[in-house]
Amino acid sequence: MMDLKQCTIGIELGSTRIKAVLIDRRHIPLASGDFEWENQLVDGIWTYSMEAVHRGLQACFAGLMADVAAKFGVRLTTVGAIGVSAMMHGYLPFDKAGRQLVPFRTWRNTITGPAAEKLTELFGFNIPQRWSIAHLYQAILNGEEHVKDVDFLTTLAGYIHWQLTGEKCMGVGEASGMFPIDGKTLDYDAGMAETFRTLTGVDLRAVLPKVLPAGVQAGSLTESGARFLDPSGVLLPGIPVAPCEGDAGTGMTATNSVRVRTGNVSAGTSDFAMIVTDKALGVHREIDMVTTPDGLSVAMVHCNNCTSDINAWVNLFSELCETLRVETSKGELFTRLFQKALEGEPDCGGLLSYNYFSGEGVTDLDEGRPVFARTQNARFTLGNFMRTHLLSALATLKIGMDILTRSEGVEIDRLYGHGGFFKTPEVGQRMLSAAVGAPVSVMETAGEGGPYGMALLAAYMLWKDEGESLSDYLDHKVFAGSKAVTIMAEEKDVEGFNRFLARYQKALPLEKAAIAAL
């Protein structure tokens, strides 16, 4: 019989899917539920409605309950612990009555340029446009009416945690995407907070969520929180809840990349690299400084655009198959086309693409237009075409990674990949390895991704030994016997990627012209 108290649940609200994973004391995934959704561009703002958040979360949890019932013949009434994570950053302000003041502004928006630039200058610390503090200050600069009523500012994960527990708090990794963190106190940087108060009159201590490290309890599931997840009334209150985290922190946890000199690359709708470092870095617009869930310093290269353009082309090829009455599943089509990229030339034969559905901070673009281009004598084959789009998905990430490894001398012992880009065996790994010039590993649990990482953080809260660090817990109790596939690109592929990137950077005015003209 299943002992539900020896299980934990992790839930993550990703950019295209909400997913819940149940794991047992051995940290093995047992059941899952999910719900697909998409962001919307409304009045120039990338957003998700709160109605979609509530409906999607409940549908996802209902799917998990159904999976548990089908596999184990039990009702999911309780578990040992639960935790929630979501896309980092963004802007969710509330007044004293708990009313949402403006629609959710997600990480994907590039509308806070003046605020981000000013705060970076004031703090001597890079503040990206995505960060919550940049959104708040931009709203102040814009003279937005709602600002005077802001009583609580949080992220999507922080909002869900608040609804589940009544507690206005979050994990340090998630908090580090709202406002800079002091690595010694594991709290918001007091000096920068005072600078912001002097600048704006806003006391961030009264507005931002409380910061907690991994391993402490961050409240319990309330009666209203249980109904928030499960309106049917089966789920019981009282379940311990771990500090909520962002998708960066859960990705690090799910790939055992929370120790210094380890790193991971998450590649899906967006892509980002997270490298845990023990040295101070210079201020770079392309590099975010955030933290692991237990507060270690992390250099983050975040790119808004990754697989959306690839998905659009695969949809086109799927329509062609339907027109030709060729029966094939979307999954098989993805696999075949990704594999075809391995037949492409290392530098893509002169083809070029920009995968910008939205703006991109690394290349200093506030908007995006997907562009595919070629010269008359470029070798226009399917292999080169697909390889072009795969390399394009990694090009902006490569620009940021070069700053870390070449300019700052950051060393990486292990680099793990996870996300949809790596679903087809070997292909995504080989392309990323060509981009970074280092081996890339993918774990057998990589497909579970962020919700699995959140379930592990909930397990760490419950079952860690006295004084046991998160990195030791993951090394010794979770991943000690895990399997991983490691691939190192051939030298010709590394050199080919570099030639492609040189062409990509030289032709960036083409993308800027497309934004201006279309």
**Quick check: is 249 in a domain?**
no
- pLDDT tens for residues 438-457? 899 998 765 567 899 999 99
Are residue 316 and residue 229 in the same domain, yes or no?
A: no
In whole angstroms, give the CA distance from residue 190 to residue 31: 42
Are residue 201 and residue 302 in the same domain, yes or no?
A: no
Domain boundary among 243, 266, 300: 243
**Quick check: is 401 in a domain?**
yes
Are residue 34 and residue 66 in the same domain, yes or no?
A: yes
**Quick check: is 179 in a domain?**
yes
If you average pLDDT over residues 263-283, what whole number do you get? 88
The pLDDT assigned to 286 comes to: 86
Q: Token pair for residue 234? A: 């089966």
Q: How confident is the model at residue 158 (pLDDT cuts 50, 70, 90)?
A: very high
The closest alpha carbon to 214, from 415, 462, 28, 417, belongs to 462
If you average pLDDT over residues 77-92, what whole number do you get? 97
Q: Is residue 112 predicted with pLDDT exceeding 80?
A: yes
Q: Is residue 381 predicted with pLDDT exceeding 60?
A: yes
If you average pLDDT over residues 238-248, what whole number do you get? 96
Are residue 473 and residue 325 in the same domain, yes or no?
A: yes
The pLDDT assigned to 414 comes to: 80
Domain boundary among 243, 277, 302: 243
- pLDDT tens for residues 398-452? 999 999 988 898 888 888 998 889 989 999 999 999 999 889 999 876 556 789 9
C-beta of residue 16 within 8 angstroms of C-beta of residue 268: yes
The pLDDT assigned to 447 comes to: 57
In whole angstroms, give the CA distance from residue 465 to residue 438: 35
Q: Is residue 264 predicted with pLDDT exceeding 70?
A: yes
Are residue 223 and residue 269 in the same domain, yes or no?
A: no
If you average pLDDT over residues 484-509, what whole number do you get? 96
Number of domains the chain contains: 2
**Quick check: is 250 in a domain?**
no
Domain CATH number, residue 42: 3.30.420.40
CA dist 463 → 26, 215, 256, 454 (Å): 11, 9, 17, 14
The pLDDT assigned to 170 comes to: 98
Q: Ramachandran region of residue 267, left (φ > 0), alpha (ψ -120 to 50) or beta? A: beta
In this structure, what DSSP letter does residue 294 have?
T
Residue type at 218 in one-letter notation: A
Are residue 267 and residue 185 in the same domain, yes or no?
A: no
**Quick check: is 298 in a domain?**
yes
Are residue 229 and residue 369 in the same domain, yes or no?
A: no
- pLDDT tens for residues 159-217? 999 999 999 999 999 999 999 999 999 999 999 999 999 999 999 999 999 999 999 99
In whole angstroms, give the CA distance from residue 346 to residue 117: 37
**Quick check: is 264 in a domain?**
yes
In whole angstroms, give the CA distance from residue 273 to residue 255: 12
The pLDDT assigned to 448 comes to: 65
Helix, strand or coil, per DSSP, at residue 414: strand
In whole angstroms, give the CA distance from residue 244 to residue 158: 7
CA dist 428 → 348, 386, 503 (Å): 15, 12, 21
Domain ranges, residue 323: 256-518
Are residue 274 and residue 387 in the same domain, yes or no?
A: yes
In whole angstroms, give the CA distance from residue 93 to residue 369: 30
**Quick check: is 511 in a domain?**
yes
Are residue 225 and residue 324 in the same domain, yes or no?
A: no
Domain boundary among 243, 265, 283: 243
In whole angstroms, give the CA distance from residue 434 to residue 457: 32
**Quick check: is 251 in a domain?**
no
Are residue 227 and residue 300 in the same domain, yes or no?
A: no
Q: Ramachandran region of residue 395, left (φ > 0), alpha (ψ -120 to 50) or beta? A: alpha
| Average predicted confidence (pLDDT) for the chain | 94
Burial of 140 (0-12, 13-18, 19+ CB in 10 A): middle
- pLDDT tens for residues 336-345? 999 999 999 9
Are residue 174 and residue 263 in the same domain, yes or no?
A: no
Residue type at 173 in one-letter notation: G
Residue type at 478 in one-letter notation: V
Q: Token pair for residue 60? A: 């996802």
Are residue 373 and residue 284 in the same domain, yes or no?
A: yes
